[in-house]
Structure 1
Amino acid sequence: MDSGKLRRVALTAGLLFCLAAAAGCLLFQTAQEEFEEKTEMMEALTGIDPAHEAEYAGIITGKALGEEASETEEGEALLEKYGYTFEDSIGNSGLWRYVGGLAAILAVGLVAAGAASWYFFKKKEKEKDRAEYLQERLLETQNRSEKMEARLRREEQETKALITDISHQLKTPIASLKMSYEIEDSTELSEEERAEFIRKEREDVARMENLLQAFTQMTRLETGMICLQQEKSSLKETLKQAVGSIYMKALKKGIRIETEEFPELMIPHDPKWTAEAFGNVLDNAVKYAPAGSRVRIQVSEMVSFVMVEIEDEGPGIPEKERGKIFQRFYRGEQKNVQETEGSGVGLYLTRQILERQKGTVFVKPGRNGGSKFVMTLPKE
């Protein structure tokens, strides 16, 4: 038996004991009053007529012997003659007080039992609600733990993949440098050959510097070390900054950067990182487009967003690769792409930067066989 049932049994037993005790007290009180009443009556009668003391005692105590029915009837007739009936004797007795007292005690007991039952019912409901609340909190804690564990596993896998990708990207320039140094140390080279080796070594070092810089930016952005600071700034100035970052590369290849005129637009964005996102797309356009071609920039204002389109005249992107080029370290399967210097991080950063500002980016075929990158940013 649990503690709740024990408490209820003890309460019921206590109430019954109280009722029995109260009933006994009332019975004793009634008997005491009746005895005192008969005593006073006996004293009064013997004071009036001492000669009939024994007869009075028998009548009052009810222990008189030899009474006849006729005498009893005569006594009743005499009492009725003076207005005293059996109903009056009932009304004058202490029985009604006894019954009324018992009824009152019973009513109090029932009320007390009801109150106790209500109290224990509410307490049980409260305990049930508390148990349900604790169960919900436990489930929430378990869900958070599972989510945290899943996130830690995902981060661990991403970290392993990142280390593997970085190692793979750095492997080629490091191997090239190592081979170059070994050849220089073990072979007699002419001045022209030595100069060529030095030029190649500088290219490899520059490539590693670019890779490390891209890895650093990507890691800082992914780990939250860099928070985008959105503010209402000029989109035109941001695009100028992006074009300026690749202008010299375009000039060396004779590629023209053409921007269609558009009105001044002040939209919420991070100018520095948004310029980097646009610059990465422009850098790819200049890198893979043939010399003497054009790169067009078009800005369109929509109802709730601004669209920036960058179109080149390069080799284009196969349809099966258009969803992959925004993945980290993906460089495509085309031969000219594989032979061109790159890390496969630029477009990945572009997608991250725009999406963190509630923007989008996708690519579709250009009008002249190249690619058109379509980027959007919300106006509010």
Structure 2
Amino acid sequence: MFRNKEVREVAKLFLTLTFIFTIVGFILCPAAGILELVSAAVLGIVFYIFTRVRYNRIAQLSEQIDMVLHNAEHLYFSEADEGELSILQSEIVKMTLRIREQNEALKSEKKHLSDSLADISHQLRTPLTSVNIILSLLEKNTDKREQRTLLREAGELFGQMDFLLASLLKLSRLDAGIVIFKKEQVDISNLISVSLRPFLISMELHNIQIQTDIPEGIKISGDFKWLSEAFQNVIKNSIESVGDNGKIQIACEDNSLFTQITFHDDGAGFEKEDIPHLFERFYRGKDADATGYGIGLALCRTVIMRQGGTVTAKNHPQGGAVFYVRFLK
């Protein structure tokens, strides 16, 4: 502890004062000099013991901090009496917990990134493999009709990869926090109309009926473009669910607490074990023949939640699946 400059200076001052007062005491009275020496010795011992204990405690805290910095798994901070060291220890404990939480979050993000890259690789490998097979068949096949069929299939596969890459890019931008959502008044009726537009031809070909019950004048605050993107993913999921000759009902409820848009289809509904995972990335359900990439609903949830809304899904009591998109007032 005498390596500390302040302690050395205090010790020098104490010894100097002790020497001076001892000399003065002996000059005045020998008993006073002796009493001064005894008092100085007792005070010196008490000061030494107190300082030594404090330095030992500081050394323990320093060792524990060093263990934290070297990522020790198990740390024990002993109890401390009230005072400056207790406050310091409390702050060290907070720092330790915060570092561990950040470390766990980084590990989780690293694992999520690794899993996501593996999923992306798998999702891209499947259509790429199919394209390679089609190209090899084109080289060997001279029939014009079969060539056109193979080229059409290749075009569809490239379209799927384009959709996948575009969706992944959007998710990456959302995760990175670089997307700035507009705050504008969005008319629900117009939003639903625009969201349905890309699917009108497909729905007509598959004889899918759309019933809408959207009162005029209902508005929410958000980004029209991104909300349309989110709604299109819900509608796309409903269209794939109902198949041919199906029906989709879209309704809107508005009250003093929230505005809710409901998408109800008459398809087969969800498997019970799939419902908790519907909005997870790359989750395609237990059905091995499930179509899609499992990112549309994940993108939908991210977009809606970032704009203060919620989206849930479940099986409707009357059959089929139902999605609820809700925005609080």
TM-score, normalized by length of structure 2?
A: 0.73
2:147 counterpart (194, 206, 226): 194
What SS is found at the alignment partner of 1:233? strand
Matched, 1:283 2:233: no
Identify unmatched segments of 5+ residues in structure 1: 25-112, 118-123
Using the aligned pairs only, state the percent identity.
25
CA contact (8 A) 1:221 1:227 kept: no
Find 1:243's aligned residue among 167, 192, 196. 196
| Distance in 1 (alpha carbons) for counterparts of 2:161 and 2:236 | 18
Larger % of helix: which? 1
Kindly provide the amino acid, as one letter, of the partner of residue 177 in structure 1: V
CA contact (8 A) 1:267 1:378 kept: no
Shift of 1:178: 0.8
Equivalent of residue 316 in structure 1, options 259, 269, 293: 269
The alignment of Structure 1 onto Structure 2 pairs a total of residues equal to 278
Please state how far the C-alpha of 1:322 moved relative to its aligned partner.
0.9
Query: What CA distance in whole angstroms lies between the structure 2 residues aligned with 1:17 and 1:230?
Result: 84
**1:225 aligned residue:** 178
Alignment partner, residue 214 of structure 1: 167
- Aligned position for 2:221: 268
Question: Are the counterparts in 1 of residues 141 and 147 from structure 2 also a CA contact under 8 Å?
Answer: no
Whole-angstrom CA distance in 1 between matches of 2:102 and 2:190: 41
| Alpha-carbon shift at residue 205 of structure 1 (Å) | 1.0
CA deviation vs aligned residue, 1:266-292 (integer Å, no higher than 9, x gap): 333232222221111011111221323
The match for 1:355 is 305
**Paired residue for 1:160?**
114
In the alignment, is the contact (CA less than 8 A) between 1:316 and 1:370 conserved in 2? Answer: yes
Q: CA deviation at 1:320?
A: 1.4
Residue 133 of structure 1 deviates from its aligned partner by 5.2
Asked if 1:252 corresponds to 2:205, the answer is: yes
Query: Rg larger in 1 or in 2?
Result: 1
In the TM superposition, what is the alpha-carbon distance from 1:328 to its structure 2 partner? Answer: 0.7
Describe the SS at the equivalent of 1:319.
Answer: coil
AA matched with 1:355: M
Match of 1:174 in 2: 128
The change in CA–CA distance for 1:245 and 1:11 in structure 2 (over 3 A counts) is farther
Distance in 2 of aligned mates of 1:17 and 1:245:
103
Supply the RMSD in Å over aligned alpha carbons: 3.3
Deviation, structure 1 residue 182: 1.2
Residue 304 of structure 1, aligned match among 253, 257, 261: 257
What amino acid maps onto 1:180 in structure 2?
Answer: I
Preserved CA contact (<8 Å) 1:307 1:374? yes
- Summarize the alignment of residues 1-380 of structure 1 with structure 2, pairs less than 5 Å apart: 3=7, 6=11, 11=17, 14-15=20-21, 17-18=23-24, 23=28, 131-132=85-86, 134-185=88-139, 187-334=140-287, 338=290, 340=291, 342-366=292-316, 368-379=318-329
Deviations along 1:10-47, whole A, 9 cap, x unmatched?
A: 545544555666x58xxxxxxxxxxxxxxxxxxxxxxx
CA distance in 2 between counterparts of 1:232 and 1:201 reads 42
Q: CA deviation at 1:9?
A: 6.2
Per the alignment, in what secondary structure is the counterpart of residue 181 of structure 2? coil
5+ residue gaps, structure 2, are 30-42, 48-53, 59-81
**Conserved 8 A contact 2:189-2:214:** no
The answer on whether the counterparts of 1:290 and 1:313 sit within 8 Å (CA) in structure 2 is no
Q: What's the secondary structure of 2:277's corresponding residue?
A: coil
SS at match of 1:299: strand
